[in-house]
Amino acid sequence: MIFINRDKETKKLKETDGLKSREKSQLWRIFKYNKKLKPFRLSRSKFSDFLTCKRCFYLDQVEGLKYLDSIPFTLNNTVDDLCKKEFDYHRAKQTPHPIMEKYKLNAVPFKHKDIEKWQNSRNQGVEYIHPKLNLKLAGGIDDVWQNLNTKELIVVDYKAQSKSKEKKLEGYLEDVYHEGYKLQLDFYKYLFEKNGFEVQKRGYFVVYNATKEKEEFKNKLEFTCDLIPYDTDSSHIEDKIIEMKKLMEGKEIPAINKYCQNCNYINAGSKFL
Ligand code: SF4
């Protein structure tokens, strides 16, 4: 994939120096310049970056290199938006969604004044300012439900995919590409707990699978919906966050991830230049 830089508004080609903006109003985005200003915001995806490659995380968050733009997953986002509407309908009425009835869960989508803020992954999410680390940790959730028996919250995430009928749920949690999913729910549990909520151990992935077994497309995708239970564990998050902050305050740039295709591509290419 070749990423060409364009102006976000005009879409015209725009030269890039590979750095984030150094304009005064933007410096809060770079830890090195923000340190004494206000709690530094770190999203769940940046925490995940830290766990995947400390070097990339450091260069992005501390030194302010501009990471490659991400590609919008428009079909997945549409599935997310549409099912959010469905769950919102049941949130307003405080009735169970059909998938909860199918799996015999005595639960409803959680009704709370901050739900829209929690679902805003771009600027808000579920936030927690860590008092000792001066970090504002944030995670934009798809949804959160409430167990009506215990009143505990249930962390959930919607996932869209397209696999054959036989393989759609096979080894779902063991899939190496789904490792990050589990971290996602662990992190949300951590954030809700830090905000004073009781959260049950069992969370769920709501898996929408676009059916492949159709004779004709006819401009229509059909989905099945299933729940994959996952026993969340937030106990490992705090120590990793402390480790992450320590790295941010240090001056040492971590080594590359030797399994990363990007850095190794650049390394290999630089030998020819
Ligand atoms: S190894 Fe990969 S993830 Fe790490 S700094 Fe290089 S490009 Fe980034």
For a mutational test of ligand 1's pocket, the pick from 261, 262, 266, 270, i.e. the residue with the most ligand atoms closer than 8 A to its C-beta, is: 262
- Judge whether 173 lies within some domain: yes
pLDDT digits (tens, 9 = 90+) for 47-102: 999 999 999 999 999 999 998 888 888 999 999 999 999 999 999 999 999 999 99
What percent of the chain clears pLDDT 70, i.e. is strictly above it? 100
Shared-domain flag, residues 251 and 206:
no
Angle between helices 54-61 and 44-52 (to 10 degrees): 130
Q: Are residues 205 and 122 both part of a single domain?
A: yes
Determine what percent of the chain is predicted with pLDDT higher than 90: 87
Task: Give the span between the Cα atoms of 273 and 269, in whole angstroms.
Answer: 7
Pocket test for ligand 1, best of 56, 57, 261 (most atoms within 8 A of CB): 56
What is the position in ligand 1's atom list of the atom closest to the CA of 257? 1
pLDDT digit string, tens, across residues 138-194: 999 999 999 999 999 999 999 999 999 999 999 999 999 999 999 999 999 999 999
151 and 223 both lie in a single domain: yes
Answer yes or no: is 9 within a domain: no
Query: What CA–CA distances, in Å, run from 206 to 118, 156, 159, 251?
Result: 18, 7, 6, 42
Same domain, 200 and 215: yes
- Could you tell me if 37 and 101 lie in one domain? no
How many structural domains compose the chain?
Answer: 2
Q: Determine the pLDDT at residue 71.
A: 81
Residue 7 lies in a domain: no
Q: Which domain holds residue 88?
A: 74-126+140-234
* 138 CA from centroid of ligand 1 (Å): 23
Same-domain pairing of 251 and 213: no
Q: Tell whether 201 and 216 lie within a shared domain.
A: yes
Question: What's the DSSP call for residue 121?
Answer: T
* The predicted structure's pLDDT at residue 35: 73
Q: Is the CB of 240 under 6 A from ligand 1?
A: no
pLDDT band at 1 (very low <50, low <70, confident <90, very high): confident
- The pLDDT value recorded for residue 219 is 94
Q: Give burial (CB, 10 Å; 0-12/13-18/19+) of 185.
A: buried
pTM listed for this prediction: 0.94
Q: How confident is the model at residue 34 (pLDDT cuts 50, 70, 90)?
A: confident
188 shares a domain with 210: yes
Angle value at C-alpha 150, between 98 and 183, nearest 5 degrees? 75
pLDDT(18) > 90:
yes
